[in-house]
Amino acid sequence: MNRRDLLKTGALAAAAWPFSEIAGMAAPQTASSDPWRGLKIGVATYTLRELPIEEAIKGILRVGLKYASIKNVKNHIDLSHTTEERKQRAQMFRDAGITPLSVGNVGMKNDEAEIRRAFEYARDIGVTTMVCAPDKNAVPILDKMVKEFNIKLAIHNHGPEDKQFPSPYDVMNAVEKYDKRIGLCIDVGHTARAGVDPAESIIKCRERLYDVHMKDISALGNRNTPIEAGRGILNSKSILAALVKIKFDGLVGFEYEKDARDPIPGLAESVGFTRGLLAGM
């Protein structure tokens, strides 16, 4: 199946959605009609980082998705917001029919007070997973915090320029002796740039895989080159097949980093392409 066929399949599938679902009303759906093959496909709101929270919510709904990982930026929900503000803003997503499954990517220094604030932030939003980029030396503190808050950590790998966690395997090596709630978020683009097969890493790291950033890139190397899904070099089909195989139940969030001021067209194309791939599997 070529790219044109995939996009056509995705567009036809999107057009076939029940009108009541598009209108925000409940619609019955059987397992066999699930276009996402059991995966919780959503959006990492870093994609929409330049948009106000109201527009970000509208954007997620426009592309037909119902799950989100909320980025800690002031436009959305930030650590600078009060506890009440965090709860109110998180409720805006839920009231629109979007379920926040995680937050992040949250940076963390090797400082217990700072790490505690990050956990309180995730707790206030009401998610069970926090995608994070901690100092490797902070893992013992993370171990203490996951036990106290019962919130899973998904440490994000950032490719060859990341001196602490370039690939998912670097995360696994750092956390394997600690509480199982300390796991990872596999960023498929950065994983490929680190010289690792994203699909293979999904299978090998499945016991501690709690979040996935879905994307495409136009080239390997030390520079991030985001592009619309299907236009780049990643084998998205093998990645999706691996997620379906392990029955992954965490968020698979589109992180479309290109076109920050106008991300909806590229995000929509990425969603349609992925939907078409899943329909053809």
Q: What is the pLDDT along the chain (281 residues), one digit of tens a residue?
A: 545 455 444 544 443 343 334 334 344 444 458 999 999 999 999 999 999 999 999 999 999 999 999 999 999 999 999 999 999 999 999 999 999 999 999 999 999 999 999 999 999 999 999 999 999 999 999 999 999 999 999 999 999 999 999 999 999 999 999 999 999 999 999 999 999 999 999 999 999 999 999 999 999 999 999 999 999 999 999 999 999 999 999 999 999 999 999 999 999 999 999 999 999 99
Give the CA-trace dihedral at 38, 44, 47, 53, to 10 degrees: 110
What domains lie within the chain, and their CATH numbers?
3-12+43-279 (3.20.20.150)
As a whole number of angstroms, the distance between CA 160 and CA 158 comes to 7
Confidence at residue 3, expressed as pLDDT on a 0 to 100 scale: 52
Confidence at residue 112, expressed as pLDDT on a 0 to 100 scale: 98
Amino acid at 129: T
Confidence at residue 97, expressed as pLDDT on a 0 to 100 scale: 98
Confidence at residue 274, expressed as pLDDT on a 0 to 100 scale: 98
Nearest to 263 by CA among 24, 15, 56: 56
Q: Return the CA Rg of the chain.
A: 18
Cα separations (Å) of 98 from 76, 163, 210?
Answer: 14, 35, 19
- Structure tokens, 65: 């998705």
Strand 67-70 versus strand 99-108 pairing type: parallel
Strand 216-217 versus strand 209-214 pairing type: unpaired
As a whole number of angstroms, the distance between CA 267 and CA 117 comes to 31
